[in-house]
Amino acid sequence: MPLIKTFLSIFFGYILARKDLFPAAASRGASQVTMNLSLPALIFANIVPAFTPQNISALGPLFLLAFVYQGIGFLFGLIIRELFYVPRNFWQGLIIITGMSNWGNLPNAVVLSVTQQAPFDPATDPALGVSFVSIFIVSYHLVFWVCGAAHSLSWDYLPGIPQGQEAERRLPWYEKPIGRILCRYVLRREFPSSAKISVVTQCADTDPSPPQTEKVAGHSEQSQDLQAASFFHSTSEHGVDPDIQLARRTSRVSATSQFGRPLQPGSQNPVVPSVLQSAASSATQLPQHPAIIPSIVYRIFRPLSVIFTPVTCTLLVSLPIALIQPLKALFVDVSPIGGPDWKGPDGRPPLAFIIDTAQFVGDIAIPLALILLGASFARLKVPRPLSRLPILAMVAVALAKMLLLPVIGVFMVQAMVKKGLIDRGAKAEKFVAMFLSGTPAAVNQLIVSSIYAPDGNVDTLSAFLLVQYVFMFFSSSALTAVALLLS
């Protein structure tokens, strides 16, 4: 029963978007409110009273489980890519969609609903559940933004990667990455590439000179990268979805790391003579260490800026407050556990109004995020005809993420309980650890991929997401029942 209100909220968002009552502009604004205000407020309001020096030990096992779940998902993606047909411009997208899961508002909604019922303690377990989910959210941000998973989505759209109908050409197993390695180093055989054969037959009549072709290709690739970097640099980030802002920042990082300095908005069309002149003048200006050092510092610390999202900053602030008793006593009453008994004129802690405000603002995060999720389903575009879709790969990804990985997760959690890494009485911790092993892919991959796609076409990704979220209505209920039985 607790899951019904979650599914109904998603359905309401779908209906509103289909009736044009919740347009894309409204979704972007609501997404800003959710990610930058209400979700951080919800996390703060739950972490400060929930975490204590006694249960802070849950951070280690949950972080370990989060990274293991993602690693197993990436491995599943590699295997599925090699075994099933996947369009060439979705090879990396398949790995990311299999490894990265929705650990944001969707599991928060389920955890809040379930932990308010028996056998959980409604007084403490809902706050603990949200706090535990926030650990998975931080691990997601670290892998997706800092470790480069978001930027790796651009690999599917690099120069030379076929797009459109050419990307739908079925390739034999020995032309896929792992198959190629097996052929070369295990079987010691070289198979002719069908792509190379087609290029040779097309270029047999023209026969351009190889050096000139290489120069032109290199120059066009460089100019394309400069144009893409300058586009991300010059586009305004005000009023844009926070995931789009992070994607643009990581895109600028990759561009500046390639060329050694930040690009200016006007440098969209690099000229070869200017490059040659700068190379010639560098012979007379060899000592340029002051310019090189800031560039190196920029390239090192700029990627770290994506760590400091509102969610991660909230976690950094709320954890010390929760663990230092004198600080915590300013926000909540800690006298029952031996802390200071500080009271204001109203008989409550002096800063209790901050917790009340955070709870009040955070209460809108869950329903608003579920409505946003339903609205995003209404805007998904599935390619026609359906025979163009990689049906087997779509089903395999859904089964791997929402059937096989949850089974592995349940056994891992039970093993950690048996070995003492997770307390047997920590019902909320065990439930969160099991439930978050079987969530579907995150929708923000759709946003990032649409930025990198040349024409913004991400229909294949939309179809994969649709299958997973349809399957979620059945798998999440089963996984919740199993997790409750074992909690």
349 preceded by a cis bond (ω within 30 of 0): no
| pLDDT computed for residue 393 by the predictor | 95
- How many Cα atoms within 13 Å fall on the side-chain side of residue 347? 0
| pLDDT computed for residue 434 by the predictor | 96
| pLDDT computed for residue 457 by the predictor | 72
Residue 102, φ and ψ in degrees, nearest 5: -80, 95
Kindly give, in sequence order, each residue whose CB lies less than 8 Å from that of residue 297, ignoring residues fewer than 6 positions away.
none
Residues of the chain with pLDDT under 50: 197-240, 253-289
| pLDDT computed for residue 174 by the predictor | 79
As assigned by CATH, the class of the 2-160+307-486 domain is mainly alpha
Kindly give, in sequence order, each residue whose CB lies less than 8 Å from that of residue 105, ignoring residues fewer than 6 positions away.
34, 39, 365, 366, 369, 370, 373
| pLDDT computed for residue 196 by the predictor | 53
Nearest to 121 by CA among 389, 428, 397: 428
Q: What is the largest CA-CA distance in the chain?
A: 90
Give the C-alpha separation, 303 to 254, whole Å: 9
Contact 76, 98 (CB under 8 A): yes
| pLDDT computed for residue 246 by the predictor | 55
| pLDDT computed for residue 251 by the predictor | 53
| pLDDT computed for residue 118 by the predictor | 84
Helix, strand or coil for residue 245? Answer: helix
Nearest to 345 by CA among 357, 337, 336, 353: 353
| pLDDT computed for residue 238 by the predictor | 41
| pLDDT computed for residue 344 by the predictor | 87
